[in-house]
Amino acid sequence: NNNQHRRQTKRSSSKTQRADKAMMQIPEKPKAFLFDIDGTLTDSDPVHFQIFQELITKVPTIKNPSNEPIDHDFFRKYIAGGSNPIIFKNLYPDLSEKEHEKMWTEKEKEYRKRAITSLVRLNGLSEFMEQIDAKSIPKVAVTNAPRENAEMMLKALELDIWFKDLVVLGGECEHAKPHPQPYIDGMRLLGLDPIEDAKDCIVFEDSPSGATAAVAAGCYVCGVLTSQKAEHLEEVGVHMIVKDFQEFSGRFYSC
């Protein structure tokens, strides 16, 4: 009976959490915008996908017993939005941390080489930046990407000057996403109170891992459909889903 009661309580709690998420209103006057970088400011996942497909063909993983080239479902499930230590530990549990680090260092080097000439801003981002600046709303980038990748992407997108030093790196926080710590640190970096002000902050995320972090931090979370299916983002509790910043601006400024 106790087990049954616990299951019922868990189900009830889960329903309550979903109801709370559904009831959360978009802030009319946001105190800040927090942006993931990879897959959110730019659709960078096709480059990551191609490199991981090549890597896993060359070094097979137990997660892909067929040894067929990985598909996008595999990429979404095991790779998208994750931090390198978690991704490589999941894919290659029999290898040492040192071997993992060597693999992801090579992988990221290849990513930077290919991405620097191919990245473009997501549709509507430039216009949205102008709207943010016109209202003087603070902003910060919050990413699980390694420092060299984050710096390369922001420079390639000509966003390094816009964000200046307002960049939080998950790998340099106490915990990376999907833990809320990077978003908590992002709010603090802007001088906000992560408890009092979170509900008035809007986060843009493209991955379930990142969205989980932002939801747990208490922010209003907008899922961007560059790499994931809508249901995967809805499952972790995002409050709005858009295909790009043009759609977000149209909906937000018509409220």
Residues 6+ away with beta carbon under 8 Å from 17? 237
| pLDDT-based confidence at residue 11 (cuts at 50, 70, 90) | very low
At how many degrees (to 10) do helices 125-134 and 245-252 cross? 40
- Give the range among 3-17, 72-86, 104-118, 132-146 with minimum mean pLDDT: 3-17
| pLDDT-based confidence at residue 21 (cuts at 50, 70, 90) | low
Task: Give me the chain's average pLDDT, please.
Answer: 91
| pLDDT-based confidence at residue 176 (cuts at 50, 70, 90) | very high
Any catalytic annotation for residue 38? yes
| pLDDT-based confidence at residue 252 (cuts at 50, 70, 90) | confident
Rounded to whole angstroms, the Cα distance separating 59 from 55 reads: 6
Confidence (pLDDT) at 9: 40
Q: Report which of residues 227 and 114 the model is more confident about.
A: 114
**Residue % of the chain over a pLDDT of 70:** 90
Q: What is the mean pLDDT of residues 4-33?
A: 62
Q: Which of 20, 38, 45, 71 is catalytic?
A: 38
Nearest residue to 190 via CA among 144, 150, 141, 126: 141
Query: Could you read off the pLDDT of 81-104 as tens digits, one per residue?
Result: 888 999 999 999 999 999 999 999
Q: What is the DSSP letter of 26?
A: P
